[in-house]
Structure formats: structure tokens, C-alpha cells
Amino acid sequence: MRCSDGEMRDLVTSQPGAGWDYAQTRHPYHMIERPLGPHYCLYNRRHMAVRFDAQSVEDGYWMLRQKAAVLHTGELPLQFKGPDAERLLDRLFTKDITKVRPGRCGYGLACYEDGGLIVDGVLLRLEPDLFWYAQADGDFYSWARAHGAGMDVEISDPDIFASQVQGPEALNILAAAAGGLPDGFTYFGIARVDLGGQEVVITRTGYTNELGWEFYTEPQHDAEALWAHIKAAGAYCGLDMFGLDSMNIRRIEAGILNAGSDFDLHTTPFEAGLGRFVDFDKGDFIGKAALVAAERGCRSWGIKCVEGEPLIGAVLEVDGDAAGVVTAGAVSPYLGHGIGIALMDSAAHGPGTSVRVGCRDGVMREGALVEMPFYDKECLIPRGKLVDVPVRA
């Protein structure tokens, strides 16, 4: 898996000049972020703010946990439209897409023929024959077009951008912005709402396991006016943008995997701990035969390290032997210790296994493999069934 060495990383900043940025796409809120001093990563060739000079990582984290925060993401919504849209998507994904009703979202996990993971994302069924797939970073567009050849389906990139409003105040902000909550807007629901005179698609989804929703900015929208309206609705609690570094802490706590770093094309859904999203009772899908024959053991676990911050790319040792790699690491301000995600070399090691883990300070430190999520094991917070607003130490 390719990533930074944990000490240095390559981010994108805006500089005077022109040229050699043709493979990069700015999101519609770029100029609004600019005064905050953004530093971007490339995600689906789109800019996504990793951090801001005007905001510390910890401040962004606590804004998310205690109030609400917004991330303009690099997710890439692809559109599938036509009589064969459902049939194609059901072949591309490991879950039964026919069960996703119009007005609802589903989780879409795609594999290669050998069972290796391509990408994951949120599938929106807007109408019986109209879907958006907000995919994580990965090569999926060409794959989908190739497998859709001969089918009555149009696959396109409609130039839509997804933004997340996450945190305990998120639904109160939505109610203020939309004049009330949409009827039946439950977890993984879809609605079209009026936000300051603009009709906007929203979903009860997110990447944090906090209460939240996402809004989709389309080409016809006035992005500046849309953001001004949403920010004004959240002014009472200080709603603002934050960076991926802040969100990353929470997604590790939540055990939410990142495509391309926590798993890749050599990892099966079972090895990534995503086996529950493989439905062998449905019809044939790409990778089914390989997954039927695959081992069911999980290799992806959380890391608890009391005395250090697990270093991305560092080795984990069990009984003195290399046994895995750190795919994500941070210090949790809420838990008060280092946390991370490990991809072990085999499924022989699981929760409760004592490990030595390479940390940011260059020292191998004692740690343990644990179940994910680190807390809110039943994911009650994003469903609105548990209110947990922690106090900042």
C-alpha cells in the first residue's frame, strides 16, 4: 500500500502561476476555503482539504464532536441511469442492490474477479432507474463502463460534489436551514430540500459515525450562496469547515476504512472485516466465485497504543516477528491515547493480541489489537439513538 512515510507527506497548495494542474479538480468551495490557508490531498483527482493554517487539528476534532463541522469531500458521485441501471449495479456490487428502495441509500462494495477490493461508497437510489454512486478514491468509472457494454444504461460523471455536515448539532442545523426536517429522513435516507431557494439532494450519511448529513452540489447551484445559507443556519454553534486530519481521528475511532490505504486490490472483503456486505444469496456478481472459495478470516483490526501514536506504514510485531503494518494512526483527544488501524499478515492474530508497534517518535511501543469501533460499538450515535457530547479535557 502506498502512503507517506509518516514523517513527510505531499500535499497541494495554491500558488500563483498556470499549468501542470490539469489532472486536478477544485471543488465549488475552493475560494471560500482559501482564506483559511488550506492544504489539499488529491482524492479522485479532486482537492480535499487535509488541514487549514487557521485551525488546529485538535480544534477541528472537537468542533466535530461537540457541535458540528463541514468537510467538502473528494468523493466522486457517478450517475447510472436507464432500464438496466439496477441490473448492472447488482452485478458490480457484492450486496443485493435490488433491495435498495427509491429514496434510500445503500453501501456499495465492488470487487475484481479474484475477490480483491476495487472501491466502496454510498449508493443513492433517487428513482427506480436513476442512481448516484458516491465512490471513494479508486478506479471505478472505466470498470463500470466496460461491464455495462451492451446494457441499456448511461454511465456519466455529472460533476457533482459531496459535502458532509457532521456532529451532534447537524440535524438542528438542517432544520434551521430547510425550515424543518424532511419527513422520514432516517439513517441512510435521501431527501430533496430547499436550502435558501435552491433545491438540493441530501442524505443521512457520513464518514464519522457522528450524527450528520451530506449535501450534493450540482452544476446549476450557486455554491457561494448555498454555503452562506448553511453556515448562517449553524452560526449559533459556530459551524465551520474543518480538514481531513481532524476527521481522520474520528473515522479511526469509528473503524471506518479508507479505500486504497486500509485495504487495496489485494485485500478481500473478509480480510478487511467487510464480509457482512457480501451477499452470496443474490445472483451472480463480479468476484463471487473467488469469494465463495476465499478464507473468511479478518486481518483488519484496531490498534490501542497507550504511550505513542502508531505511525502509518510502520511494522507491527508479534513475539518479535513482523506480523502486520499500520495503515492509519492518530492520537485520540477523547480516548487520551494512540489509536490506529492494522492490516495483519494473516488472520491468526486478532483482538487481545499483544503487539509492538512502530510509533511516530521512532520507538517500537507496546500495544494491542482491538475490535473496531473503539466506542459506540452498535453505531447508535449516527442513527440518532444516542447523544454523546464529550467534554474537552
Query: Can you tell me the distance from the alpha carbon of 340 to that of 312, in angstroms, rounded to the nearest whole number?
Result: 8
pTM above 0.85, yes or no: yes
137, 74 contact by CB (below 8 A): yes
Question: How far is residue 288 CA from its own chain's centroid?
Answer: 25
Q: What is the pLDDT of residues 238-248, one digit of tens each?
A: 999 999 999 99
Beta strands of the chain (E only): which ranges? 38-43, 46-52, 69-72, 76-81, 104-111, 117-127, 130-135, 154-156, 161-166, 190-195, 198-203, 212-217, 240-241, 300-305, 315-318, 321-332, 337-344, 354-358, 364-370
User: What's the rounded mean pLDDT across residues 84-94?
Assistant: 99
In 3D space, the residue among 374, 382, 3, 51 whose CA is nearest the CA of residue 188 turns out to be: 382
pLDDT at 4: 61
202, 166 contact by CB (below 8 A): no
SS3 assignment, position 300: strand
Q: How confident is the model at residue 14 (pLDDT cuts 50, 70, 90)?
A: confident
pLDDT at 148: 98
Q: Find all residues with CB under 8 Å of 266, minimum gap 6, and list them.
A: 116
pLDDT at 1: 47
Query: Can you tell me the distance from the alpha carbon of 67 to that of 195, in angstroms, rounded to the nearest whole number?
Result: 20
- Checking if the pLDDT of 5 tops 80, the result is no
Q: Grid coordinates representing 19? A: 499549468
Q: What is the pLDDT of residues 120-157, one digit of tens each?
A: 999 999 999 999 999 999 999 999 999 999 999 999 99
- Checking if the pLDDT of 6 tops 80, the result is no
Q: What is the pLDDT of residues 278-329, one digit of tens each?
A: 999 999 999 999 999 999 999 999 999 999 999 999 999 999 999 999 999 9
- Checking if the pLDDT of 72 tops 90, the result is yes
Residue showing cell 479478518: 298
Domains and CATH numbers, the chain: 24-286 (3.30.1360.120), 299-375 (2.40.30.110)
Q: Exposure pattern of 307-323 as b/e (b: 16+ CB <10 Å)? A: ebbbbbbbbbbbeeeeb
CA distances from 389 to 7, 80, 82, 168, 323 (A): 32, 39, 44, 7, 37
Beta bridge partners of 203: 190, 214
Helical H runs in the chain? 30-33, 57-66, 85-92, 141-147, 170-178, 223-233, 244-254, 288-293
Whether 214 has a binding-site annotation, put simply, is: yes
